[in-house]
Amino acid sequence: MLAAISKTAFAMLAASPPLRRVASQYGMRRPESFARRFVAGETLDDAIASARTLEASGFQITLDLLGESVSTIEAAADATGAYVSMLGAIDAAGIGRNISVKLSQLGLDIDHATTVDNLRRILDPADRAGFFIRIDMEGSAYTGPTLDVFETVWTIGYRNVGVVLQSCLRRSEADARRVNAIGGRIRLVKGAYREPRSVAYQKKSEVDAAFVSLMQLLLTDGTFPAIATHDPAMLEATRAFARERGVGPDRFEFQMLYGVRRDLQAAVRRDGYGLRVYIPFGREWFPYFMRRLGERPANVGFVVRSLIAERA
């Protein structure tokens, strides 16, 4: 039954105002609350504490301030300021200097120039302090504009920045070749957004086949790619191809999400591969949380058990 729950259903739930209100009351109420499995907390201090714990166990980290789709210049400026403040706090905390940003927070729904200007406000202090900034990929409507912004700042001369591609999208091979050609760093994911058949593969087998093909392209022609997956078959396909082509563990890294398949995270580290854990945090955590459930409906069982325990 759980396996039949679709991404569509979870997308509808994520957009529900009543559910958002309930989630804001109960989701982060206690450290053991159900959403804490997948979200570090609502504050930067929460995220830094989680990062320290993971780094003590040998993992690398990236921090992600949750939120998306601002519609005013003022809101985009506020989000940009929050990212800049993050840089200072992370620097002071002494944890890994790696963050992820969403361009729809920086003004992508407003215009290209605003987004580039705000991204540069982050990249400049990040470059001075030795940070790497990963531009997250959102729904397919944002793919082209996101890559255009990335290429703009790359052309200006920024090199402390990378981007994400989704194997579910039919266009991603051409996009990967475009980014590889200029030396940009790519994080490869399957994709968590519901997309139409016209732009995205619908069958898991097709998404997996595209993931493997893109992984091989990145390992042979890319610049320190990040292979982001919790699928044991995709992990093994990556390791096997790397061994076959003589691509050492120092030339790429695996990435996984906070709280997802922690058993696999430990196994990857034991096998001698670099693993970076993506740590989401912030008050706008509910849509992200619902996408995680939609990606892997078995996670619903964990949530249900947690809710029952909370109310006992």
The active-site residue, picked from 134, 187, 276, 292, is: 187
Mark whether 296 is an active-site residue: no
Mark whether 276 is an active-site residue: no
Q: Rounded to an integer, what distance in angstroms lies between the CA atom of residue 162 and that of residue 63?
A: 14
15 token code pair: 């957009």
The active-site residue, picked from 136, 208, 276, 292, is: 136
Q: Rounded to an integer, what distance in angstroms lies between the CA atom of residue 72 and that of residue 209?
A: 40
Query: 107: number of CA atoms within 13 Å, CB side?
Result: 22
Query: What residues does 189 pair with on adjacent strands?
Result: 166
Does residue 105 contact residue 79 with C-beta atoms inside 8 Å? yes
Of residues 296, 281, 232, the one with CA closest to residue 66: 281
Rounded to whole angstroms, what are the CA distances from 142 to 87, 148, 284? 25, 10, 19
Catalytic center residues? 136, 187
